[in-house]
Chains A and B, each alone.
Chain A
Amino acid sequence: MRLEMAIPLWLWRTGAFIISVLLGLLVSSLVLVISNTPIYATYRAIYTGSLGSLDALQGSLVYAEPIAFTGLAAAIAFRAQVWNIGGEGQMAIGAFGAALIALNTNLPDPYMLLAVVVCGAFCAGFWGLLPAALKVWLGVNEVLSTLMLNYVAILWIQFLVFGPWRDPSGGWPYSSYFPTQADLPPIAGSLDIGVIAAPCLAIMLAFLLRFTRWGFEVSVVGHSHASARYAAISVSRVVIQVMVCSGAVAGLAGIQQVCGTAGRLYVLTPGYGYLGILVSWLAGHNPVLVLVMAVFYGILLQGGSALRIAQIEPSLVSVIQAAVILFALAGLTLAARYRPRQVSNMKARQ
Chain B
Amino acid sequence: MLQFLSRLAPRSPWIYRLNAGSCNGCDVEMATTALIPRYDVERLGCKYCGSPRHADVVLISGPLTLRVRDKVLRVYDEIPHPKVTVAVGVCPVSGGCFRDGYSVGSDIDHYIPLDVIVPGCPPRPQAIMEGVLKAVEVWRARLEEGLCSHS
Partners in one complex: no
